[in-house]
Structure 1
């Protein structure tokens, strides 16, 4: 199970390597991207490739995304919608040709693929805040304290103000021990989130105070 561990006030995983920019960007996309994955023509993760996951964003409808793109100094372009579309649903089926439709509002794509955002964010993290190959086992809401097994299997503890889980709620419930135990209302809310395909969950100091008050 891939897990995110926290050091101080940040929680992230990556393998950023100064001096090997292209290789580091590709590695960061693979290790950190989650559903975001940009690959080259051979299907290998690339810092400048084709998107196999999320591909578009809309400046007018997603101002926060647009702001992040500008903040990171990334470049984008309008999605081409002229002409027909070739679509292959599965490898065993022949590609199908469809009449193209112009998008309104126009969607944008990032130069280098959506993985460029992951690479840019990873490069801005200090190396000591990064932990790969770790498995979170226990989250104490009195603090907040995260207990996890590092890549060598050794038990570790970290204190953080926020913990972000980028996992389906049912896996969080099944794989991670919480103390105090999660209340029924929270589990029910997680179930609704899972049914609506929203799988990023944040526990913060506000959650801690609410749990302690129960």
Structure 2
């Protein structure tokens, strides 16, 4: 019997699943997409990677993600900060050049892309605990205390 149902296989759902797996607590992750990762997606092409969701993190201010990346021994690199960056705040404004270190100061990236974090978390969970293409449309607590989940 499944004790915990996790709706969504993004970073938070996978992290929760990894912690439950460590404690040998029964759980199931239901993910509506054909892949886990949620908003995290890295495209690899010709030995280059392009993060299409979150990209950077700032260790000085984002302690939770920094601690998780450190705990999981995921290698990181410092964002290149020399020269200029192109900043576009809105499609209605002309992009402008700014000193790169004004935007990226002390930011880091995960080696191989942010999907490396998703993969480490996913690999700590048995595939039988993850169901893809399962869009949850309702969760109902029945009068007898049981739960009904519609997908």
Cα pair distance change 1:32/1:8, threshold 3 Å? same
Cα distance in structure 1, aligned partners of 2:105 and 2:86: 22
| Aligned residue number for residue 56 of structure 1 | 56
Unaligned runs of 5+ in 1: 1-6, 15-29, 90-95, 150-214
Unaligned runs of 5+ in 2: 11-33, 90-94
> What does 1:1-214 align with in structure 2 at a 5 Å threshold?
7-9=2-4, 11=6, 12-13=8-9, 31-41=35-45, 49-86=49-86, 98-103=97-102, 105-141=105-141, 145-149=147-151
Deviation at 1:37, TM superposition (A): 1.2
Deviation at 1:128, TM superposition (A): 1.9
**TM-score, structure 2 as length reference:** 0.63
Number of residue pairs the alignment of both structures matches = 118
Deviation at 1:134, TM superposition (A): 1.1
| Aligned residue number for residue 24 of structure 2 | none
Cα distance in structure 2, aligned partners of 1:144 and 1:49: 45
- Equivalent residue of 1:67, what SS? helix
Cα pair distance change 1:101/1:69, threshold 3 Å? same
Give the alignment's Cα RMSD to 1 decimal. 3.1
4+ residue stretches of structure 1 with deviation over 6 A?
none
Cα distance in structure 2, aligned partners of 1:97 and 1:145: 53
Deviation at 1:59, TM superposition (A): 1.2
**TM-score, structure 1 as length reference:** 0.46
Cα pair distance change 1:88/1:138, threshold 3 Å? closer
The answer to whether the Cα contact below 8 Å between 1:136 and 1:146 also exists between their aligned partners in 2 is no
Tell me: higher relative CO, structure 1 or 2? Use CA pairs within 8 A at least 6 residues apart: 2
